[in-house]
Structures are given as C-alpha cells and as structure tokens.
A and B are shown apart, each in its own frame.
Chain A
Amino acid sequence: MPTVHDIETGGRPPALEAHNLTVSYGTTKAVDDVSLVVPANKVVALIGPSGCGKSTLLRCFNRMNDLIPGAQVSGEVDFHGQNLYAPDVDPVEVRRRIGMVFQKPNPFPKSIYDNIAFGPRINGFQGDLDGLVETSLKQAALWQEVSDRLGSSAYDLSGGQQQRLCIARTLAVTPEIVLMDEPASALDPIATQRIEDLIFELKQDYTIVIVTHNMQQAARVSDYTAFLYMGHLVEYGPTDMMFTNPTEERTEAYVTGRFG
C-alpha cells in the first residue's frame, strides 16, 4: 500500500481525484491501482524512474490515453464530482477543460497568432480574439518577445519560446487544470528557469500537474510530490517532506539519487 501523507486542500474541493486507476497496454500494467488527490491551485509533481508510469498516469487526467491504441483504463478520475471515464463523458470536452503541454515543444506550422487562436477558434470562441491572444501570451511571459511579430512563423522561435508558446496556446482555451509532461526536458537551463518561474505564477489561476525526471525541478516548483515506481504509487505527500524526510525507503533512495 502506498504511503499517502496529509494533502492540504485548504477546505476547497480538490481539482482532481484519482481512484484505483489502472492502465494496461495489452498484458502489461503501466499504472497499477493508483489513487491520489490533486488539490486546487497547487502544483503536483509526478516523479519516478523511466517507465514508472508517470506520463501514462498524467495522460489519464485528460483522457489522452484514448488516442493510444491498446491502452485500457480502469478506475475513476473525479473532476467536479464527475467521473471522467463515465460513458456519457465526451473526451473532447475533458481535454478542453484540462489542458496539456508536451515534452517537446510542438507548435503548429502556423504563425504565432494562429497557434494561440487555433484552440479558441475550434471551440467556437466569440469575442475579442486579439485580446485573448495578447492575454494568453502575457500569461505565458512571451508577449514582450513576440508582440511585434505575431504574424511570423512559430518555427522561428527558440525552443524555450516555442514551449512558452505551447503553454500560452493551452491557456487560451481557459482550462482549469494544466498537465505538463516534462515540459523543460528539451530545453537549456535558462529556458528551463523561465518555465519554472512561469509555473510558479500560473498556480494562482490554475492547478498544475507536472511530470518530471528532474528531482531538483520537482523540489523547486511543486507543492506536492508523488513518487511512482513500476506503475505503483509509492509515496505521496508535501514536497519538502518527500525530499527531506520521506517515510518509504525507496522514496529516499530515489530522491537522494541512489537509483533511477
């Protein structure tokens, strides 16, 4: 059984609650019976060695696993009291309300403006699109760098700028939760720093779940940390406790770098 420490939700309902989540590809279980609570307006980091199921678990939270042939999900993810895996739930609507930022920056081969505007447009946004693009870029701390060249190709941006563009693009559809799958793993230290600063600011308005293989990053940006190992949740608790005084021996071994 995993060790789960007190998760302080501040008296508010949690943003997400996973109950007995299991994901299998064929006969292998990538995520095995994981239950955890994601408090609102906090940053939760999922850590663990490669292949521990942290990315698979993350993709459960906005039903991105639906797109992977052969992935079978059982268990529940509750979002506003609604199980995301109930038969009447539309995964398209889930993904609009729970956004995702990917490992490698993946801007569309379009202009900076059109990258941001794509989400609102397909979701039938009626209103001040220019204003929304500006707000989103400002939220992602990219506006100053691109405000004079919104029409140029997103591919002309640096990797770090592209990733912030992808974050802005996600924010433009006003999700409640932002899932980040190793968002800085393809970036240099300075670009990484900017993403981390951004995460810190974004939790004012959003709940963030971030997968990272960089333990220092987890320690820096997150409020809570979940350690996964071979598909199992080993320990979940406040980040400072997880890194300074974990209960489980395996957690300690991993966060101190003895394996992984």
Chain B
Amino acid sequence: MYEGAIQDLIDELGRLPGIGPKSAQRLAFHVLSADPIDVRRLAASLVKVKEVVKFCTICFNVAEDDKCRICRDPRRSDEILCVVEEPKDVVAIERTNEFRGRYHVLGGAINPLEGVGPDNLRVRELMQRLADGEVKELILATDPNTEGEATATYIALLVKPMGITVSRLASGLPVGGDLEYADEITLGRAFEGRRTI
C-alpha cells in the first residue's frame, strides 16, 4: 500500500477493464518514470476523448461531430446498411475495403441473462432508418456467437415484412488454417455456406 498520489493512480488504473492490481501498479510506476511531456499528452488525450467524442446521430458510431465520417461521405451507398454491435466492428469491416454502404451500430447484442433486451439496443432507431424505403439490403454483421445470432434473428423477424433483403455474414473456416483443426460447428457452417466455383 502506497501513499497519496501514487496510490490514487494505482486505484484509478485498477478500475479499468482487464487491469488487475499488479498491472495497475506496473502502469503507475511507468507513468512515474516517464517523460513529463508524454504524461501531459496522455492526460490531455484522456480528457479530450470525453469532451469531444460523441455518438453519430444517424448510425451511433463514434464521431466528433453530429455525423460520423462514414455518414458524411456522399460516395457511399445509401441502399446497403450493415448492422454491427459495437463501433469497433465498424473499424474491423472498414479494414476489409469490401463494403461501401452505411452502418448502424446497435450498442450490443440481445442478452436476456444480462437483462439486455431489444429495448436496450438501438433497434427502434434502426427501424426508423429503414422506414423511408431507401435501404434495399440489410447486412446483419453481429458477432457469430449465440447472442449475436439471436439478435440477427430478432432483427430479421422485424425487417423481412418490410420487403428489404436481409443477409447475414457467412461463417466458416479462417483463411490460413488447417481443415483438421476446425471444430464441428465451424466446419458445419462452412458446409452449409459452401458456394459453387
């Protein structure tokens, strides 16, 4: 147990996700020994991120203005909408350079065990976006786990009567892997989603 400012810093760092007491102590002593300019820059970044960053009013991605960079881009298609769970999923899909439509960030997945239902996500806002009839295809890119699949099923249930094409990201084998190491569910999904070449 240390005294004063160093213990306060250890306590604050220890409240961050994935940071245990030992890691908090290591980081605190790293900050203590670091160049004061670097520490001021870190502190300024922490303050700025809370003051400047907000959610895009259209897609709920992180943004510094009312609209995010993707919603402002006139070259992107308004006819294809990709639904993801978190802003970090937008970044992952953008890295592929394969998708030129717009996004909608739900803010999580339906998980009744944690008390998260459709009303806790931005499903209502999604339905409002789809109501104007501009979107022709909805891509459900929620995580390929139980909560993500159930969320996709729920949204598809709501959207299909609107006459919009609903698609789901394919599941299957990772590129660069050996077939013998694939588990039965992934391999089964890969067989279900096979395509002619």
- Chains A and B come from one and the same complex: no
Q: Which residues of A contact B (CB under 8 A)?
A: none
